[in-house]
Structure 1
Amino acid sequence: MLPQPLRRIGERLPLPAKELTRELALHDLHRAYLRRQLLNSLLALETPEGELLPDLDTAIRDLVQRQGISGEAELERWRLAQGLTLDELQSLATFPARLEAVTERIWGEDVPGIFLQRRSEFDTVVLSLVRFSDPDLAQELYFQLLEGELGFTEMVEVHARGADQLNRGLLGPVRLKNLHPLLACAAERYTEGMLVPPLDIEGQVHLIRVESLQKAQLDDSLRRELLQDLCQRWLQEQLQILESRLLTQHGEDISP
């Protein structure tokens, strides 16, 4: 559960000074600055006793890779050029790992319930799909497929155009949440190997066969994704509050 002090921190976080606000706006960086300030407020939470600290050597290697730096000497030159102390360099390097840890600590217990609510969104499907602008032709080919007079692969070779031809009539693996809602419904409703009746989507008739549907599992990768999503939702809410305060402050500054 989100600690009380963080629930409306956008109302209390200090705003950048007027001159800094101007500089950030000139370089289109004000939102990035506010985001970082909010994330720093998460990291300011006390670390529970016994929680493992990020491995500094690994964190430094990751920072070097992110910045495109080669070797310790160049890293030291980069640090000095940025005006960073050694402690600030370590803080910067360990930022991603510390953020991941605090995100787990705050929202980790919420993840299983959210996964159960949204589970089908993360199911992945593979479809054979060909689109037609001529609904009569699509209907005729559908019945030929049903009767076994025509194979799907043969239909793809003869009738697929554009992206369908390039992909050899295959779509996926793709998550259901990333599909058009009608395609997602069809993928959930029909079992593997089944033909879907011609489906009109935005003026094109789709002939579809469900090849596979893989049910989502709450593995480490999906867990991290859901945690990041929860963090981003909190971040967006607080950003709106901060930006509203900035507009109000500037309005007061220019008012007669």
Structure 2
Amino acid sequence: MNNSSNPEPSPVLHIGDQVLALADIVPLLQRYGMLPALIKELVIDRAIAAVTLTPEQNALALEQFLQTNQIASPEQQQGFLAQRGLSEGDLPALAQRAHKLQQYKLDTWGHQVESHFLQRKAHLDRVLYSLIRTRDGGLAQELYFRIQDDGQPLADLARQYSEGQEAQTGGLIGPVELSVPHPALARLLSISQPGQLWPPSRVGEWFVVVRLEKFLPARLDEATRQRLVDELFNTWLTEQVQRELQANAIAGASSLPGNQ
């Protein structure tokens, strides 16, 4: 019998003795939770398809890509490609893709950075502070008075009594962004003046004595600008990936037997 009209699917991947056909790939991506990562890359490809680079930008893209991935020798380049199953001819395309993506981010969200910075500034401001924490409320009160009234160094008392890792640094923490500490602690620090010592406060399971040492306001420098552009892009990308996942789930459900 001639089965030429229904050829067997060609294998696309050999893993040991296992032969995978094209139809096997998507179920495996779903099983191992890798489908969102694939969709993310496809969404990016679609977004940057219209971005064009000059020859000078292509050369710069390759130079920056090699620097970013710490590729400084032919041996390192071969190792990089071998780990990813790529050929030398794939390298320029990878570099150009990264450069196009950066250009797309700036073109799409660069004009929103200033307003986004103002919305996020309260969380981007950094603080350096000293902390003593203990589960014993009475001890916390005593330590507060020993610092406030008796002038004992907070650092010495933190090393002796604090029950967290900050004991190793004399209670000193930071600089950290205000989004890092517990929200109740962050509120105290956000309204503090440098040198201000707060009486014991309940923060979760702890009683804490905290003093603001230094307030470091966020500045819209190049590093912060890039971070905010990346935040806006990642928010958009997550929404796009979820939309595609939902659309594919609906399409898959509608193709099940009984839904035709």
TM-score bucket (shorter structure):
0.7 to 0.9
Any idea what SS the aligned residue of 1:55 has?
Answer: helix
Q: Specify the alignment match of 1:95 in structure 2.
A: 97
- Alpha-carbon offset, residue 196 of structure 1: 1.3
* Alpha-carbon distance in 1 for matches of 2:153, 2:126: 24
- Alpha-carbon offset, residue 209 of structure 1: 0.8
> Of 194, 197, 200, which aligns to 1:195?
197
Write out aligned runs for 1:70-149 (5 A).
70-71=75-76, 74=78, 78=82, 82=85, 84=87, 86=89, 88-149=90-151
* Alpha-carbon distance in 2 for matches of 1:49, 1:90: 13
Q: Specify the alignment match of 1:40 in structure 2.
A: 45
* Alpha-carbon distance in 2 for matches of 1:119, 1:77: 41
* Alpha-carbon distance in 1 for matches of 2:121, 2:244: 33
Sequence identity (%):
25
Mean CA deviation greater in 201-210 or 47-56: 47-56
C-alpha spacing 1:144/1:27, structure 2 compared with 1 (3 Å)? closer
C-alpha spacing 1:24/1:203, structure 2 compared with 1 (3 Å)? closer
* Gapped regions of structure 1 (runs ≥ 5): 1-16
> Of 233, 238, 251, which aligns to 2:253?
251
Tell me which amino acid in the other structure corresponds to 2:91: L
Aligned residues: 237
Length-normalised TM-score, structure 1: 0.81
Name which one, 1 or 2, has greater alpha-carbon Rg.
2
Deviations 1:120-169 (A, max 9, x none): 11011111001011111211221222213422122123312341322321
Conservation of the 8 A alpha-carbon contact between 1:54 and 1:98 = no
- Alpha-carbon offset, residue 255 of structure 1: 2.8
Any idea what SS the aligned residue of 1:119 has?
Answer: helix
Q: Specify the alignment match of 1:14 in structure 2.
A: none
- CA RMSD, 1 decimal: 3.0
* Alpha-carbon distance in 2 for matches of 1:143, 1:83: 65
C-alpha spacing 1:211/1:51, structure 2 compared with 1 (3 Å)? farther
Q: Specify the alignment match of 1:24 in structure 2.
A: 29
Any idea what SS the aligned residue of 1:161 has?
Answer: coil
* Gapped regions of structure 2 (runs ≥ 5): 1-21
- Which one has more relative contact order, counting CA pairs under 8 Å at least 6 apart? 1
Give 1 or 2: higher helix fraction. Answer: 1
Tell me which amino acid in the other structure corresponds to 1:141: L
Mean CA deviation greater in 194-203 or 48-57: 48-57
C-alpha spacing 1:33/1:166, structure 2 compared with 1 (3 Å)? same
Matched, 1:61 2:63: no
C-alpha spacing 1:171/1:64, structure 2 compared with 1 (3 Å)? closer
